[in-house]
A and B are shown apart, each in its own frame.
Chain A
């Protein structure tokens, strides 16, 4: 039996335990279709009755590109079944085009409810298709074993040329539990061998400065996207080296401690293409942490260089840590406050964020946000989306805010329980009033009362 048959049998065997009806159903389904189309052909080609005997051969004659086209629409398991029909289909199964993109799902039964990519399939891919792979992602559950398995696969991808690579932790970040050297050596295999990486998502991993240097040395011409939020082993100098060398970089995600004036200047150099997205996560590890500031002139340079770039900022800070933020104008477009934020800070947001497009405030203190919202409506003329969680707002102020923004508010989300009825509007009126100003039907968000 050749490889394909092998894959199929193994996959079948692997699936038998928990997914019998799924696998079985699909296969009988496609066989059914096959029979039906044979029959249709038969009716059509009645005059060619003699050739009937060789109907199998007809299928073999199906041009490869048509087969390929059909196979593209089949799930992997169905393709594996189909590959057993004949030699031609078997060859089609292995066409490189069908293996450019693969998502490895690495889960352990003890730590995940989801199924994993079968180990035999992984072996086969590495053996026969690793040189075809271009767009690869690894979805890894919270166990260290899964992260190790991902590194194992990575370190075997020596003869492939990846364009995109994503290391995605689906639960707790498990790459962080690996010995750094182990992770780095696997990752640099890809950096060194794939000379045309354009997208790299390595959030929550122990990637470090030297490995970024390897990345830059091999992929500086092609790198366009780099996501590395919460990578504690990278220093501001490490990311600066990337920005200095990779002039095609258009999208970057990192934590605030890596953000520096030098980085912004590097990204706005003449050689550099326009930046499209910059995402910054501002997280405090312990209360009272001090944060550095970024000069207004650096942001100004960035805006001059890439006038349309999105600056996305996530804040997960204690209320008293906001001191250095929103003192000067900042070109932020998307703002997310994941923890309670004071009225004072939100007031400053209205004054310092003229490019603001989207604002989410998960919680604020005990006093209603009225004046702050109205100021934001006045000053942030681009604002089109707002979400308020546990933020009390008086109904009047909320209506006023909506009236000022009007139908440019494409997203408006607030929990019903934080709207404080006042002398002008109760909870029943507010739905009509807001709908009127938005020009569409609107309701506050509700949570079930149990």
Chain B
């Protein structure tokens, strides 16, 4: 995407590259494009220290970002330039910079998220008014997302299977752009003033208002240099294992790995395309097979999927007003939420994960599933939006689209997956790490418990609790819910909600349907119930029939997103409110 607002000839070209995500010099096409024919280049990052301190983003994420900026600054020094960290808000900063530096070209990486698109549109307008040419290229995602949506008849894909189908029809992923080197900058001046550090230096955490006393060293050091090292290690390990399937889960996978890449992809310290092509090359070399399966790119494609579904939906991170989110009557309970967020649920498996998240800023994706399920549909029945906000604060790799999308997924609020299965806060951990070492690492208070009781210490005999100096209810909390009871209640609620969704479609509506939830645990939402006509009251015929017009067989990938939209639109709050009236109509019809 190149937008040329006013092409110039025979003029000095002073260019600014604006870093946001994409904090790297490799595969940075808009930066490269910006340098072409430019007489001077400055690279900037805009940050509002006041906003930083008051924002909802935790210290680990800020530290990661600042380390990325330090690294970028160091790399730019090697190119005889520096990173200009400018304090303020973009809309205030740019008019000033355009004037001060006599800028006539601006470049940045395309941002697909609704908030980013809005911000960028405003900046583009300012640039246009100032006669500045703007270059925007996509490099944060593998594909041009609008092209994916176009292929899907203008709708975002709502199931991962459908998305995979679309990906198969897309043009090949574009090759990464060449790294920006001294050679590339040969003809380009890179002005730096003497007081650069004072005016434009990378701020410290203290400057942003964080207390760094007793802050442990970063488990995830930020920056492009680190990212590229990790990529090499990641590929080495893959080559050594020579197995490209998803690694099987074990106790070790729960810990931060020196080959983990997700935070680096999030901030764009690592290009997803570079990762993509390195994986492809390795696969071809090791497997001697030129057709790598889609599953090779699992993590990259999931990320792409959520970006694609979110790009045109400003309410993607909310339940209300979000056309793709099922409206679920979540409980509001700040106390319970705090227990979850602070790791005081009384379930060691959940609390250890939340402690790791708070301390290190990262948890394994299955651990995310466990705590997300526990907070929402599994046990606490609290809104996924609250969980998403906690992750937004603590999780280094939390990204608006991916974070909200994953939470909707895990809370069964969208994307149509089975909801019968809830992760058990005791059994799931025990299967992953039977010995409980993960728990002992993050919850030292429990370290004396033997493996038999470490996942459910409240069941340990009193003498044992005394001997390990940890009385449950005193030194460590009792479980905040009875999991068996909570999951019984919640699975019933889930069924009820999805059953009502199928009522909304105008099929099988009947008052008694509210009372008779289906007896099947499968896809209540995908079934259409045949209703006896004739007499009002109870209808007993409970056989699900598959209505051909509305077959929503997700598993068979027959899903037409248009049909899905129909249902989802019907599930907006407006219709929720009017639901009783729709039912009323049916009743009248039945009684006549």
A residues lining the B interface (CB < 8 Å): 22, 26, 68, 72-77, 79, 97-103, 107, 110-115, 134-135, 137, 139, 141-142, 163-164, 166, 168-173, 198-201, 203-204, 224-225, 227, 229-230, 250-251, 276-277, 279, 281, 283-285, 287, 310, 312, 314, 316-317, 334, 336, 338-340, 358, 360, 362-363, 365-366, 385, 387, 389-390, 411-413, 415, 417, 421, 426-428, 440-443, 445-450
Contact = CB atoms under 8 A, between A and B. Distances in A.
B409 interface: yes
Given A168-B514, A448-B306, 19 more contacts: A72-B585, A100-B587, A164-B515, A170-B493, A203-B492, A230-B488, A251-B540, A312-B519, A314-B488, A316-B488, A317-B484, A360-B421, A387-B521, A390-B424, A390-B427, A413-B555, A417-B249, A427-B295, A450-B262
29 contacts: A74-B581, A79-B581, A98-B584, A100-B584, A101-B583, A107-B329, A112-B329, A113-B332, A114-B329, A139-B329, A141-B331, A166-B514, A168-B496, A200-B515, A230-B489, A283-B485, A310-B519, A338-B491, A339-B424, A363-B427, A363-B428, A366-B434, A390-B428, A427-B245, A442-B555, A445-B417, A447-B410, A448-B302, A448-B406
B547 interface: no
A334 to B, nearest CB: 5
A108 to B, nearest CB: 9
B110 interface: no
B541 to A, nearest CB: 10
Contacts of B333: 111, 142
B521 A336 contact: yes
A336 B514 contact: no
Given A340-B427, A360-B521, A387-B421, A72 B584 contact: yes
A340 B424 contact: yes
Contact of B330 (A171, A225, A276): A171
B317 interface: no
Nearest to A116: B577
Contacts of B485: 230, 283, 285, 316
Contacts of B365: 447-450
A327 to B, nearest CB: 22
B574 A336 contact: no
A450 B331 contact: no
Contacts of B537: 163-164, 198-199, 224
A415 B246 CA distance: 13
Contact of B488 (A112, A281, A366): A281
Given A100-B587, A101-B587, A387 B420 contact: yes
Nearest to B585: A72
B187 to A, nearest CB: 43
Main secondary structure of the interface of B (DSSP, over half): helix
Contacts of A421: 245
Interface in B505-524: 511-512, 514-516, 519-523
A428 B293 contact: yes
Contacts of B511: 101, 135, 137, 164
B540 to A, nearest CB: 6
Contacts of A229: 488, 492
Nearest to A363: B427
A113 B319 contact: yes
Contacts of A389: 420-422
A113 B538 contact: no
A76 B578 contact: yes
A204 B482 CA distance: 15
Given A72-B585, A362-B420, A250 B488 contact: no
B143 interface: no
Contacts, number: 259
The size bracket of the interface on B is 35 or more
Contact of A413 (B409, B515, B522, B587): B522
B572 to A, nearest CB: 9
B225 interface: no
B522 A443 contact: no
A173 B489 contact: yes
B9 interface: no
Contacts of B405: 448
Contacts of B422: 338, 362, 389
Contacts of B418: 387, 413, 445
A232 B574 CA distance: 37
Contact of B302 (A101, A314, A441, A449): A449
Contacts of A415: 421
Nearest to A428: B293
Contacts of A358: 520-522
B201 interface: no
A184 to B, nearest CB: 21
A450 B522 contact: no
B64 to A, nearest CB: 16
Contacts of B329: 107, 112-114, 139, 141, 170-171
Contact of A115 (B293, B431, B577): B577
Contacts of A363: 424, 427-428, 431
Nearest to B431: A366
Interface in B268-312: 293, 295, 298-299, 302, 305-306
B472 to A, nearest CB: 14
A338 B488 contact: yes
A385 B262 contact: no
Nearest to B397: A450
B381 interface: yes
A67 to B, nearest CB: 12
B487 A316 contact: yes
Interface string B166-191: 00000000000000000000000000
> Top 3 nearest A-B pairs by Cβ distance?
A389-B421, A75-B578, A171-B331
Nearest to A341: B427
A115 B575 CA distance: 12
A100 B580 CA distance: 11
Nearest to A107: B329
Contacts of A276: 540, 542
